[in-house]
């Protein structure tokens, strides 16, 4: 029972710690919210220790498998769908950029820098031809009711 309880506590603590550390926006890592999350990361495993003494063995097995399954889901979710502005989000952005560069190189497409440069040149040419005045909207003629 002690080993299962220890695994439950470690898996829950690691899941909370991982989510808090990697999937929280960097600007929110300080303050009262972090203290509350840290309290939950410590408090919930301690509640497991207390409840393990009175819960049946089958419930402990269920909690352990649920914790491990939730931990695996959390690891996958943080890796695939991170919160913008978090450490995991920055890592995903770098991975996506690397994939896009490889995809463009494989297909023989222009690089991102070349594409941006071409867009800026086209925009400048359009402004030189059209001027800096935007095209004014034109009212559409609407059908009048009853006529």
pLDDT along the chain (147 residues), means of 10: 83 83 75 77 81 82 88 90 86 91 87 86 83 78 70
Residue 143 falls within a domain, yes or no? Answer: no
Within this chain, do residues 113 and 63 fall inside the same structural domain, yes or no? no
Same domain assignment for residues 13 and 34: yes
Q: Which of 116, 9, 105 is nearest to 52 (CA)?
A: 9
State the residue for tokens 């925009």.
123
Q: Is residue 29 domain-shared with residue 91, that is, in the same domain? A: no
Q: Can you give the residue range of the structural domain that contains 67?
A: 2-81
- Listed in sequence order, the residues at least 6 apart from 111 whose beta carbon sits closer than 8 Å to its beta carbon are 101, 104, 105
147 located within any domain: no
What local confidence, expressed as pLDDT, does residue 94 receive? 92
What's the confidence (pLDDT) of residue 76?
92
Residue 147 to residue 144: CA distance in whole angstroms: 6
Q: Are residues 127 and 104 in the same domain?
A: yes
Which H helix or E strand runs over 115? helix 112-130
Same domain for 107 and 124: yes
For residues 12 and 56, membership in a common domain is answered with yes
Tally of structural domains, the chain: 2
pTM reported for the whole predicted model: 0.63
- The answer on 115 and 52 residing in a single domain is no
* The pLDDT of residue 147: 56
Q: Do residue 89 and residue 103 come from a single domain?
A: yes
How much is the pLDDT for 115? 85
Task: Indicate if 16 and 47 belong to the same structural domain.
Answer: yes
Q: Do 8 and 44 fall into the same domain?
A: yes
Token pair listed for 114 = 């070349």
Residue 84 CB partners (closer than 8 Å, separation 6+): 25
**Spatial CA neighbour of 92 closest among 79, 105, 109:** 79
**What's residue 146's pLDDT?**
61
Q: Are residues 94 and 77 in the same domain?
A: no
Q: Judge if 75 and 99 occupy the same domain.
A: no
């Amino acid at each position: 029972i002690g080993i299962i309880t220890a695994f439950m506590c470690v898996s829950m603590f690691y899941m909370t710690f991982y989510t808090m550390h990697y999937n929280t926006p960097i600007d929110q890592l300080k303050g009262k919210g972090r203290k509350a999350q840290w309290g939950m990361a410590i408090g919930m495993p301690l509640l497991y220790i207390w409840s393990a003494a009175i819960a049946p063995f089958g419930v402990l097995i269920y909690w352990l498998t649920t914790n491990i399954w939730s931990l695996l889901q959390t690891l996958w979710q943080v890796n695939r769908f991170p919160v913008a502005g978090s450490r995991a989000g920055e890592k995903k952005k770098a991975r996506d950029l690397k994939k896009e560069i490889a995809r463009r190189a494989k297909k023989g497409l222009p690089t991102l820098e070349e594409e941006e440069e071409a867009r800026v040149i086209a925009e400048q040419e359009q402004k030189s031809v059209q001027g800096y005045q935007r095209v004014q909207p034109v009212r559409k003629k609407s059908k009048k009711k009853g006529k």
